[in-house]
A and B are shown apart, each in its own frame.
Chain A
């Protein structure tokens, strides 16, 4: 339909041009209209056939050649008829036809050279697509053109880049999962190993003070119990399956209470706990979740604090409620900060009773604080520093 309309338009424009430039007689006008209609009909026929030819053709060069051939043929047809009517001598007509014959050869050359750049770009895209299908996501087409083919190449490259990002994310997740299970398995085996040797020694009757061995087994059972609890809590936080009842909470009170719970543990390591707060800070939040997060952070600080030092907890409220825990230990290494809040990450890479539990404490704290809409951070040493803030919109006065 569109072809038909454009052909009619071409005929009309041609006639109008003829009218304006030559002021023809009515006979000439009718004759020219005839010529135009014949040319338009041939073009229309070619346009109708070309898509089928193009789709069947195995090589792009054939299509391009056919395209230039059609335009040339239409022009040749028009000129031949017109020349005939203009009473050209036979000699002149032959000359025109020879020139047109040359044009035909030029058209072949044009089709070949035009198709080369096109086909090489298309080949590159095909190769890229094949490599991508084969799993190599680093390949790009390298096609630089702004036409439809260029757009297609760009889309292909964008898609590959997108796939690459997705695969990298998946690989990272897989690696994390493997590391997580290796860490869980290690942390379960270590107390089990300790229990196994103690129990076997008890059974073999080779120990002089069985009570001490039993106490050690009991401590291992407690470690295993709290590890299982922590894992369960962490998996619930990560699944978003933890309900945190929100109520008006005096944050300073929560900190005070947490420090009181932890004081015996701090005393046994000769570490002082101190609360620094200028005012009461009251906001709508979950006292239980904040308390648990804070307990894990302070616990960690106590474990890393040197003897006879102080762990301070700073509570403040300006644009947001902020709690910062500082110890006088070595603090976080700059390189460790990005992974400090991941499960089972420990800076020395080894589990030991001296430097703490399972390595889930900060991961749980982060999970809880973030589900309350807050954020948590660590600052590089010297001196351990972990802080968190809670959303300001809930801030209120007593």
Chain B
């Protein structure tokens, strides 16, 4: 069992049962937990407890999850995992654009949420400077320390998840990663819980930002039947 001792997680959902069970699973892994049932109290709790991560439902009374996320992002980079019952891709990606670190679609498994919490905390733990030099290829610079991507001299903004996906691929140029590999490495999830199409969607968005022609990708290529790879 992974250890969450010393870390505080804020769980925000208007369903008491969801709050209770998610807290139970996180507590079992050593996390300290607190909760909130609406958007306004979520902001108050975040202020009061300075949690290490927030699990945030999107449909909340008073102030919805997107609004809470927007207000949080004005002054903090605390990792946020969105819980969303919304089905459209657009809705899910909106959260990432607003700065969420990951999302879980309802109905979900509480074990899955706990696994994602670990994965997001690991990803956002902040790497040491000397171990991670920038990755540079023709026209593309990935600054892992500053979490910045520069395409042909222009800085490109991207949500944390897309950045981590790019770093995962670019760290091992020419190596082919299957969608299941990427789900495990980047999302800390598995194909059992998460639809592999999630990876496809994020690859597409990544290509729109770093490829010259997203329809004829040259930096991240598809190896049919096997997965994706980063061309050095």
Binding site for B on A (CB under 8 A): 182, 185-186, 189-190, 192-198, 200-201, 204, 206-207, 213, 216, 220, 348-355
Q: Determine the chain A residues whose CB is within 8 A of the CB of B88 once the complex forms.
A: 182
Are B61 and A189 touching (Cβ within 8 A)?
no
Are A350 and B59 touching (Cβ within 8 A)?
yes
Residue of A193, A201, A213, A352 touching B61 (CB-CB under 8 A) = A352
Q: How far is the CA of A185 from the CA of B17 in the complex (A)?
A: 19
Residue of B15, B59, B83 touching A186 (CB-CB under 8 A) = B59
| B28 CB-CB contact with A under 8 Å | yes
Contacts A189-B85, A200-B109 given: A350-B18 contact, CB under 8 Å?
Answer: no
| Minimum CB distance partner of A198 in chain B | B17
Q: Determine the chain B residues whose CB is within 8 A of the CB of A182 once the complex forms.
A: 86-88
Q: Determine the chain A residues whose CB is within 8 A of the CB of B16 once the complex forms.
A: 353
Q: How far is the CA of A327 from the CA of B28 in the complex (A)?
A: 45
| B22 CB-CB contact with A under 8 Å | yes
Q: Determine the chain A residues whose CB is within 8 A of the CB of B86 once the complex forms.
A: 182, 186
Minimum distance in angstroms from A289 CB to a CB of chain B: 32
Residue of B15, B28, B60 touching A194 (CB-CB under 8 A) = B15
Are A201 and B21 touching (Cβ within 8 A)?
yes
| Minimum CB distance partner of B110 in chain A | A197
Query: A-side binding surface: helix, strand, loop or mixed?
Result: helix
Are B106 and A350 touching (Cβ within 8 A)?
no
Q: Determine the chain B residues whose CB is within 8 A of the CB of A350 once the complex forms.
A: 14, 59-62, 64
Binding site for A on B (CB under 8 A): 14-18, 21-22, 24-25, 28, 37-38, 59-62, 64, 83, 85-88, 106-111
Minimum distance in angstroms from A186 CB to a CB of chain B: 5
| Minimum CB distance partner of B14 in chain A | A352
Are B64 and A196 touching (Cβ within 8 A)?
no
Contacts A189-B85, A192-B106, A206-B25 given: A355-B18 contact, CB under 8 Å?
Answer: no
Contacts A193-B108, A196-B108 given: A201-B24 contact, CB under 8 Å?
Answer: yes
Minimum distance in angstroms from B64 CB to a CB of chain A: 7
Q: How far is the CA of A355 from the CA of B15 in the complex (A)?
A: 12
Q: How far is the CA of A365 from the CA of B86 in the complex (A)?
A: 28
Interface centre among B37, B38, B60, B107 (most CB of A within 10 A): B107
Are B61 and A194 touching (Cβ within 8 A)?
no
Minimum distance in angstroms from A357 CB to a CB of chain B: 14
Provide 19 A-B residue pairs closer than 8 Å at the C-beta atoms, listed in order of the A residue. A182-B86, A186-B85, A186-B86, A189-B85, A190-B15, A193-B85, A194-B15, A194-B18, A196-B109, A197-B21, A200-B111, A201-B24, A201-B110, A204-B111, A207-B24, A213-B17, A351-B59, A352-B14, A353-B14
